[in-house]
Structure 1
């Protein structure tokens, strides 16, 4: 945020100019860990058997074209049957965040955790099958130079069979649309989720000028004089 100063009635007062719109991860729970955006998140690179990594991606992006999302409403998503494909319109301003769970050597592991944001969840992208590669399609807009493994049929969630059985993966969007909780089971490939939020533009800082305190003369305290008797 850039700043300047102005003089008001002899006082030097800071004036803050608005910064770019953004949204951030403000909390993680369970097996989730917040990390800086990685340069490489390809299959087999960023691995852990106990931790799902989360990071902030592009901020305040104005969509040049409609973007497909797989979920938006609060509630639980336990299979591909619970997805409701929709689009966010071109011209919308959104911020992006990423959750990534890839195990060491492709071993079978399970994690549970949560990620909380300081802005409302607008949509979740977590489906990547041959007929609908939603994660792949969103990388260019939000990936910020991170290298991803693309054209991986089960890169997202619900990767058993055709994704309709459920049971191995689930995630929830909280009623206030600020937290995404997840349960992910992975052998190979990995599980990945992209979360889009509504960034709040940084407004002008409130400029509160307190009125000058009026100086008033204080009367000297009265002296108590006892009358002579």
Structure 2
């Protein structure tokens, strides 16, 4: 699975075994540099080495008791010094000793709050300023099934979260607000967390996940924007068709602009997949725009370059379709020299600051596609 987090720095608490260790392994498999923390140094280092051997990732083991404020502060400082600022934080901790309500002492309650609640509060407070400054961050809080279903002799975690609710902070706000889980809320957030600041109404974002068949995304009125590789460092120059601001409606395969090797990039595929009857004369004119958070480095519209770059910046193992096996129908349509202005062709315009891409697409019955390469953080 390609989650677009390759190269990010992740910290997982209580990661010497169980769910924490599994989470750290999954993040390492996605290409993160992972810091793992737990109280038992021997078990923690053993888990870290297993993850290194399994993934080849950088794994930093830091022995820490997250129920202690000083340990939390030292943990974040160590990760920052050796890996960089924490970009993904997974708050996780073991449960308190079991007991009935009347059996649990004041000391037990306070210890449970320090371990399960205050550890998350402190670690979040320590990483949040840098996440805000970078305009990117993920904080995942793992707690017990007791949140949704009471468990005998385990009462503390149920008050930490309320079933069906979460918290958020909007830009400019200082206070957290509680909101219900709502698919629409997350649907609106996906583009922002994947480097897309704004979409016009004619563009629909495909949430990053395991690759879905193109046939699930069909519309006569919209283009779909699908994130592909994220934070990829190019090992060699990448051929594109358009790499300068301005309007482009004609290019040739012989025109060979390049995105330089060593650049860190995100790639996105835009595609039109007609929903109605496949009529060769049924052209539709779609116009709209996309604003990215970073500059556009290039646009790939020629079918051969699309094919050649699938394995470099495309989703690994994904089968990119063509219409009736006609590869030439996959990319953008050039305006032929001397052709009438009314003839069907595609126009791409890149804004002077290179962040906004505008399109005028004449789409037929096939799956039109073009790829946008954007500078990564």
TM-score, length-scaled by structure 2: 0.45
Identify which of structures 1 and 2 has the higher relative contact order when contacts are C-alpha pairs closer than 8 Å and 6+ apart. Answer: 1
Alignment RMSD, CA only? 3.3
Q: How far off is 1:95 after superposition? A: 1.1
Q: How far off is 1:186 after superposition? A: 1.2
Is 1:144 equivalent to 2:352 in the alignment?
A: no
Alignment of structure 1 residues 60-209 onto 2, 5 Å:
60-80=231-251, 84-104=255-275, 105-106=277-278, 107-128=282-303, 133-145=304-316, 146-150=318-322, 152-158=327-333, 165=339, 168-200=345-377
Q: Is the 8 A contact 1:79 1:164 kept in 2?
A: no
User: CA 1:164–1:31 in structure 2 vs 1: closer, same or farther (change >3 Å)?
Assistant: farther
In 1, the alpha carbon distance for the partners of 2:305 and 2:265 equals: 16
Q: How far off is 1:87 after superposition? A: 1.6
Q: Is the 8 A contact 2:199 2:291 kept in 1?
A: yes
In 2, the alpha carbon distance for the partners of 1:83 and 1:23 equals: 32
Tell me the secondary structure at the aligned position of residue 298 of structure 2.
Answer: strand
Q: Is the 8 A contact 1:81 1:164 kept in 2?
A: no
Give the aligned partner of residue 219 of structure 2. Answer: 48
Tell me the secondary structure at the aligned position of residue 141 of structure 1.
Answer: helix
Q: Which has the larger radius of gyration?
A: 1
In 2, the alpha carbon distance for the partners of 1:95 and 1:66 equals: 15
In 2, the alpha carbon distance for the partners of 1:197 and 1:84 equals: 20
Residues 79-126 of structure 1 deviation map (CA, whole Å, 9 limit, x = unaligned): 236994212233332110111112123342221111111111111111
Q: How far off is 1:39 after superposition? A: 2.1
Residues 122-152 of structure 1 deviation map (CA, whole Å, 9 limit, x = unaligned): 1111111xxxx00011111222143212561
Q: Is the 8 A contact 1:52 1:100 kept in 2?
A: yes
- Going by fraction, where is helix more abundant, 1 or 2? 2
Residue among 2, 10, 13 paired with 1:2:
10
Q: Which runs of 4+ in 1 moved over 3 A?
A: 3-8, 10-16, 18-23, 81-84, 162-167
Q: How far off is 1:170 after superposition? A: 0.7
In 2, the alpha carbon distance for the partners of 1:137 and 1:82 equals: 13
Q: Is the 8 A contact 1:62 1:91 kept in 2?
A: yes
In the alignment, structure 2 segments of 5+ residues that lack a partner are: 1-8, 12-34, 36-65, 89-135, 137-192
Tell me the secondary structure at the aligned position of residue 212 of structure 2.
Answer: coil
Give the aligned partner of residue 212 of structure 1. Answer: none
User: CA 1:66–1:7 in structure 2 vs 1: closer, same or farther (change >3 Å)?
Assistant: same
Give the aligned partner of residue 31 of structure 1. Answer: 202
In 1, the alpha carbon distance for the partners of 2:194 and 2:296 equals: 10
Q: Is the 8 A contact 1:80 1:164 kept in 2?
A: no
Q: Is the 8 A contact 1:93 1:198 kept in 2?
A: yes
In the alignment, structure 1 segments of 5+ residues that lack a partner are: 201-229
Tell me the secondary structure at the aligned position of residue 112 of structure 1.
Answer: strand
In 2, the alpha carbon distance for the partners of 1:164 and 1:62 equals: 40
Tell me the secondary structure at the aligned position of residue 333 of structure 2.
Answer: coil
Tell me the secondary structure at the aligned position of residue 64 of structure 1.
Answer: coil
Give the aligned partner of residue 100 of structure 2. Answer: none
